């Protein structure tokens, strides 16, 4: 189930993100890999009005995350 996340979920979600992208970082060592994103940068995304985070919850446990971003120039309708 998808549950809207809040900034108080940031540490838990960032930990999941680091685990998920860790192998890709070890392979490519690119500077933009989500596996090396800092908590400060991750939390800043929560403040963006066009960005929403969701927790993937299964049997009461957070097992994943999803982020949606709406383009700033997108029309609403």
The encoded tokens of residue 49 equal 């009005």
Token readout for 71 is: 């383009």
Q: Where are the domains of the chain?
A: 2-69
Give the closest residue to 19 by CA, choosing from 33, 4, 40.
Answer: 33
Return d(Cα 45, Cα 10) in angstroms, integer. 10
Question: Quick one: which H or E segment has residue 43?
Answer: helix 39-47
The tens digit of pLDDT for each residue in 12-53 reads 999 999 999 999 999 999 999 999 999 999 999 989 999 999
Q: Is 74 helix (H, G, I), strand (E, B) or coil?
A: coil
- Distance in angstroms (rounded) separating the CA atoms of residues 18 and 49: 24
* Mean pLDDT to the nearest integer, 50-68: 98
According to the model, what pLDDT value does residue 73 have? Answer: 78
């Amino acid at each position: 189930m998808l549950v809207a996340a809040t900034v108080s979920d940031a540490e838990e979600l960032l930990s999941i993100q680091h685990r998920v992208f860790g192998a890709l970082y070890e392979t490519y060592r690119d500077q933009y890999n989500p596996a090396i994103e800092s908590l400060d940068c991750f939390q800043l995304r929560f403040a963006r009005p066009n960005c929403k985070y969701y927790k993937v919850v299964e049997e009461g446990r957070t097992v994943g995350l999803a982020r949606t971003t709406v383009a700033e120039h997108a029309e609403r309708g």
